[in-house]
Structure 1
């Protein structure tokens, strides 16, 4: 009896996880296309191929599902940036870290950020969801902003501040960080796709963007910090 139970339990959990994942992916598309207010639980259930009670069972309510979608995006962001995070933190904390190493990590952060905002499953829906969250001031907006600050802005600010030997609350360091990250954020905009005449960037285009951003970043710091070598 116990053997049967042990074998069945993982299958039940897997089905539940698959259903939950299917609902999350469907909800991302619907919330992006219709907005939070415009999306109905019936639409969400139909897109996911589940009955209405399934949404309540897994997420409690439409708001709970929306927050779970936001949380899932945050988790994906954290997982994407995780390989660099400890190296960046250690380099910022170590006063003996050389400028060239700080600059290399900054370039790697920018390259990773490019992949995050241009590639991956449902990237168009994620972009649209971000835009709607800004316009509609939805419940998930603060969570998205906090994630962006923690995973992208603060690490880059720390590296730039170390390069200039300035505190992180120096307004110029904040402005420099925003200007640098703004180069990447431009590729999130729908207007960029129109200019490029393609809805998606292929791998070759992403690599080109990464190379150009590295060149731009190096040029900025060579100009302002002549002692820093290119990396």
Structure 2
């Protein structure tokens, strides 16, 4: 037993790595060509696996497409958990939310979004897949909407409302949250254009400081407008 356990752990890790490689390749392929245009053979080759391995892990192309959406949600949630967790706890405490603390949590959430959408180049890879579902909703739309877009925007809207001294968000807060988050999309599917406009060769620490500063100014303006 002691001799086979490490081998078992190694096999599990290899299986998880294979699954991740297939998902990475599929997110790119589906983003570029859509569900109908992308072939499982091309995805398998890009992932460095054979067709049976892809079928073993996901069963079908449709199932793989849906799993890509779930993977994007999971990776996004992992990137923002350190900020979204405290924000949810604050808003769900059942007590009156201090506006200053709500503003702190809003800043933390936006910082986490900068880390996830701007600092992390993987977001540019997800962008094609996500954009397709936004423009032509398919089987993955409900997953992205119910688990990512709607709850994320609502959390930001509730923080904006609390920072303004309101108990609940209204249309103004939801629209402000939507516009605030949408600004960061310029660095996902519009990453190349945004870098060219800013004359940035890359997005490193200096550029991230500038993005955070811009977002901070927008947060201050939004909160001030509601007071």
- Fold shared, TM-score > 0.5 on shorter chain: yes
Instruction: Using the TM superposition, give the Cα deviation of residue 26 of structure 1 relative to its aligned residue in structure 2, in angstroms.
Output: 1.5
CA RMSD between the two structures: 2.2
Q: Report if aligned partners of 1:81, 1:151 keep a CA contact under 8 Å in 2.
A: no
Distance 1:123 1:163 in 2: 29
Distance 2:166 2:224 in 1: 17
Instruction: Using the TM superposition, give the Cα deviation of residue 151 of structure 1 relative to its aligned residue in structure 2, in angstroms.
Output: 5.0
- Structure 1 residues 149 and 105: alpha-carbon distance in aligned structure 2, compared to 1, 3 A threshold: same
Q: Report if aligned partners of 1:113, 1:152 keep a CA contact under 8 Å in 2.
A: no
Give the equivalent residue in structure 1 for 2:23. Answer: 24
Q: Report if aligned partners of 2:118, 2:184 keep a CA contact under 8 Å in 1.
A: no
1:1-231 to structure 2, matched below 5 A, reads: 2-94=1-93, 95-149=95-149, 152-166=152-166, 168=168, 170-190=170-190, 191-197=193-199, 200-225=202-227
Question: Which 4+ residue blocks in structure 1 deviate beyond 4 angstroms?
Answer: 197-200
Distance 1:26 1:189 in 2: 17
Instruction: Using the TM superposition, give the Cα deviation of residue 144 of structure 1 relative to its aligned residue in structure 2, in angstroms.
Output: 1.4
- Structure 1 residues 64 and 11: alpha-carbon distance in aligned structure 2, compared to 1, 3 A threshold: same
Instruction: Kindly provide the CA deviation profile for residues 101-128 of structure 1, in whole angstroms up to 9, marking residues without a partner as x.
Output: 1111111111211221123253322111
Instruction: Using the TM superposition, give the Cα deviation of residue 43 of structure 1 relative to its aligned residue in structure 2, in angstroms.
Output: 0.4
**Structure 1, unaligned runs of 5 or more:** 226-231
Distance 1:171 1:61 in 2: 41
Distance 1:199 1:126 in 2: 21
Instruction: Using the TM superposition, give the Cα deviation of residue 44 of structure 1 relative to its aligned residue in structure 2, in angstroms.
Output: 0.8
Distance 2:88 2:123 in 1: 28
SS in 2 for 1:83: helix
- Structure 1 residues 198 and 144: alpha-carbon distance in aligned structure 2, compared to 1, 3 A threshold: farther
Alignment size in residue pairs = 224
Tell me the TM-score normalised to structure 1 length: 0.86
Distance 1:3 1:104 in 2: 50
